[in-house]
Amino acid sequence: MTQVNHLIEIRGLKKTYQSGDTTVDAIRQMDFFIDDEEFITIMGQSGSGKSTLLSIMGALNHPSQGQVLVDSLDLYALSTEQRADFRSEYIGFIFQSFQLIPYLTVLENVMLPMAVTGQKKKIKNQMALDVIDRVGLAAKAHRLPDQLSGGEQERVAIARAIVNKPPIILADEPTGNLDSQTAGEIMQLLQTLNRQGHTVIVVTHNPEVTQYATRTVRVQDGLCFV
């Protein structure tokens, strides 16, 4: 019998928070896997534990119990700095509300993940301009974030997430601040990236988003339903 190696494996995951005197079970028990080049939506209501799950998969949040294996790498057996290197190499984050650095131009924001990589300046510049072009913002590369529309800012956030060519893209409510037309365009862009080889994981509470996914994981009360 051959063993199948999944890209991401979640095993016996639990996460509890201490809020004052009470213990909150953000994730009670989760076991599932995600394969390479999948487009997954994680659906759930506010407070269901979906954002906590995303941060744990992104090597940002230590689980109380369980394991997260990415490429057979046990993320929380790594040191803090090794996890930072892992994020740099494997993960592209797209945050809620874009989260661009306001004092950096579009080009600089996109180049941000490359500030800690060893490539030459010329190569970095070219890579950044390429992804900016891919998200359709070539003409606005030298603008500041506040000179862009919401949809354009989201595109910059996507460009920043993919500039280092990470295999996994994690997006937290990427359409939360956009009108339905722009939201549709952004989801199509993520779908294109998925087709180009990125594994895309989107956390959302919007059922319309699930139509772009190859699979949906539902989260409720700290439990997941695959």
CB of 93 to other proteins, least distance (A): 5
Question: For the chain, how many residues are written?
Answer: 226
Question: Rounded CA gap, 150 and 157, in Å?
Answer: 11
Q: Is 111 a residue that touches other proteins (CB under 8 A)?
A: yes
Site track 154-193 with other proteins (rule: CB under 8 A), x = hit: ------x---x-----------------------------
Angle at 165 (CA atoms; ends 125, 163), nearest 5 degrees: 35
Q: Return all residues near 216 (Cβ < 8 A) that are at least 6 apart.
A: 40, 41, 42, 43, 210
Please choose, out of 41-49, 69-77, 105-113, 146-154, the segment that lies near other proteins by the rule CB under 8 A.
105-113
Q: Does position 97 bind other proteins by CB under 8 A?
A: yes
Segment lying near other proteins (by CB under 8 A), choices 27-35, 39-47, 92-100, 184-192: 92-100
| Number of residues lying near other proteins (CB under 8 A) | 34
Q: Rounded to an integer, what distance in angstroms lies between the CA atom of residue 172 and that of residue 176? A: 9
Which residue from 85, 133, 179, 208 is in contact with other proteins, where contact means CB under 8 A?
A: 85
Using only C-alpha atoms, the chain has a radius of gyration, in whole angstroms, of 18
One of 33, 35, 36, 61 touching other proteins (CB under 8 A): 61
Residue from 18, 19, 22, 80 binding other proteins (CB under 8 A)? 80
The 3-state DSSP composition of the chain as helix, strand, coil percent (nearest 5) reads 40, 25, 35
Among 33, 5, 30, smallest CA distance to 15 is for 30
Binding site for other proteins (CB under 8 A): 55, 58, 60-62, 80-81, 84-89, 91, 93, 95-97, 99, 101-104, 108, 111-116, 124, 128, 160, 164
